[in-house]
Amino acid sequence: MKAPPIFRRAGFLPPPGRAGVGANPSTTPHGAAPIPAFPQGKEARRPARWLLALLLWPLALAAHAYDIQDDAGQTTRFDAPPRRIVSLLPSLTETVCALDACDRLVGVDRYSNWPASVQKLPQVGGGLDPSVEAIVALRPDVVLMANSSRAGVRLRALGLKVVALEPKTRADVGRVVARLGKVLQVPGADALMRQIDAGVAAAAQSVPAAARGQRVYFEVSPSPHAAGHGSFIGELLTELGLGNIIGPEQGPFPRINPELVVRAAPDLIMSSSQSAADMPRRPGWASLKALRDGRVCVFDAEHRNILVRPGPRMPEAARLMADCAAKSVAAKMSSLRLLGNGRGLMGQFCCHGGGWGPATPPAGAAAPHPNPLPRGVRVPYRGA
């Protein structure tokens, strides 16, 4: 007599001595219901495994969950690595991509433009004034943003996971890279920081001795806001052997009184084209030796973005600064002069692709870059 199908499917067999397979019919009352036996061997282990798996599933999920504390002091729990990410800060966007997770980005702020692939993603506004509705529509697993943005409160209230990170110093960059590596649950954060540090060190070694010691004024926006000694830009200047006229007591990116620059009389000025055009019109600036001698590095929009974004492209930023310092010495030796007549800065040299501006370069000066990059794109300094 075969066991009923329901018992066969469940892996149970009737025991010997009772109705069913192995039973002695002469000792079993006619019509007695079969009694399922306890499973034996492999058949016994099969349902037990399923039961054990069901019991352990919540524990397995808890074991893979992880917590992230951001710069706002908020702790966010992740049950799994985020697959849909919205980034509202260009430096965070670039770091996500440098950690080989660019394919997880589903939306970015209006200033994120590197690598080129992110330019095809939906834009959700600025980092400080994003469209909450547009972000929610993208169904992100996490929103990466600056700590200075107030949008995080509203996004959290809507149930979205938010991680606020805002690097301002070299140490911050290392911390943010490590934190994003943990958020994404990817390897490579340590290797990326080693690559950044090695690239900056190589740029520092390229600065000629004659260029070291120059006192620099680095303007990050025409407000004017400057890069202070304690900012990542100021730290790069220090590592390159250059000075900074903006002291540490003024903070990383202070808004300054233009008279401070006149009093400090920097040897070298670094700025964007928007800032440089206005400099000679500022009270007292026409007397600055750096302007008179043409020791002004004017960076186009693309290279300015590299300079003001603390992230994986910091080695490129260091190389831009190193080249600027070296060329400023060459400009001094060749007695390069401004061609302006009080209407604006016209004879400044530009380190990487920006050309000579609206004037024809002086005789004997280097020719403009054969492929000048576009100018005129303003990226606020807080959009780093």
Could you report the per-residue pLDDT of 142-190, keeping only the tens digit for each? 999 999 998 999 999 999 999 999 999 999 999 999 999 999 999 999 9
Residue 352 has pLDDT above 60, yes or no: no
Nearest to 296 by CA among 340, 252, 263: 340
Beta-carbon neighbour count of residue 297 at 10 Å?
A: 27
Q: How confident is the model at residue 6 (pLDDT cuts 50, 70, 90)?
A: very low
CA 71 to CA 152: how far, in whole Å?
Answer: 12
Residue 25 located in a structural domain? yes
Residue 197 located in a structural domain? no
Residue 245 located in a structural domain? yes
Nearest to 289 by CA among 270, 265, 325: 265
Q: Are residues 145 and 177 in the same domain?
A: yes
Q: Are residues 221 and 346 in the same domain?
A: yes
CA atoms within 13 A on the CB side of 382: 13
CA 19 to CA 56: how far, in whole Å?
Answer: 37
CB 132 within 8 A of CB 154: yes
Q: Which domain holds residue 320?
A: 204-383
CB 160 within 8 A of CB 70: no
Residue 192 located in a structural domain? no
CB within 8 Å of 59: residues ≥ 6 apart = none
Residue 344 has pLDDT above 90, yes or no: no
Beta-carbon neighbour count of residue 133 at 10 Å?
A: 10
CA 129 to CA 30: how far, in whole Å?
Answer: 83
Q: Are residues 54 and 100 in the same domain?
A: no
- Domain end among 187, 218, 245: 187
Residue 199 has pLDDT above 60, yes or no: yes
Residue 196 located in a structural domain? no
Q: Are residues 233 and 349 in the same domain?
A: yes
CA atoms within 13 A on the CB side of 41: 2
- Condensed to tens digits (0 to 9), the pLDDT of residues 229-250 reads 999 999 999 999 999 999 999 9
Tokens read off for 275: 């800032």
CA 337 to CA 15: how far, in whole Å?
Answer: 106
Residue 326 located in a structural domain? yes
CB 260 within 8 A of CB 307: no
Residue 31 has pLDDT above 60, yes or no: no
pLDDT at 333: 53
Q: Are residues 278 and 247 in the same domain?
A: yes
Domain count, the chain: 3
State the Rg of the chain over Cα: 33
CA 362 to CA 86: how far, in whole Å?
Answer: 48
Q: Are residues 308 and 369 in the same domain?
A: yes
H-helix or E-strand containing 173? helix 170-184
- Condensed to tens digits (0 to 9), the pLDDT of residues 90-140 reads 999 999 999 999 999 999 999 999 999 999 999 999 999 999 999 999 999
Residue 100 located in a structural domain? yes
Q: Are residues 270 and 143 in the same domain?
A: no
| Higher-confidence position of 64 and 212 | 212
Q: Are residues 130 and 211 in the same domain?
A: no
Q: How confident is the model at residue 64 (pLDDT cuts 50, 70, 90)?
A: confident
pLDDT at 164: 98
pLDDT at 330: 80
Is 220 in a helix, a strand, or coil? strand
Interval 280-293 mean pLDDT: 94
Mean pLDDT of the chain: 80
pLDDT at 28: 47
- Domain end among 158, 187, 216: 187
Residue 22 has pLDDT above 50, yes or no: no
CB 320 within 8 A of CB 299: yes
Interval 5-27 mean pLDDT: 44
Sequence-ordered strand ranges (E) for the chain: 66-69, 75-78, 85-87, 105-108, 142-145, 162-164, 215-221, 225-226, 243-244, 268-272, 296-299
CA 151 to CA 112: how far, in whole Å?
Answer: 18
Preceding omega of 14 cis (within 30 degrees of 0): no
Out of 213-217, 245-249, 332-336, which region has the weakest mean confidence (pLDDT)? 332-336
Q: Are residues 83 and 57 in the same domain?
A: no
Q: Tell me which residue has tokens 């928007």.
A: 274
Tokens read off for 180: 């994003």
CA distances from 172 to 110, 177, 180, 230 (A): 23, 8, 12, 11
Sequence-ordered strand ranges (E) for 295-360: 296-299
Interval 58-66 mean pLDDT: 63
Is 189 in a helix, a strand, or coil? helix
Q: Are residues 222 and 312 in the same domain?
A: yes
| Higher-confidence position of 217 and 275 | 217
pLDDT at 200: 98
Strand partners, 66: 78
CA 47 to CA 245: how far, in whole Å?
Answer: 75
Residue 74 has pLDDT above 50, yes or no: yes
Residue 368's φ and ψ, nearest 5 degrees, are -60, 155
pTM: 0.74
Q: Are residues 40 and 116 in the same domain?
A: no
pLDDT at 116: 97
Residue 279 has pLDDT above 50, yes or no: yes
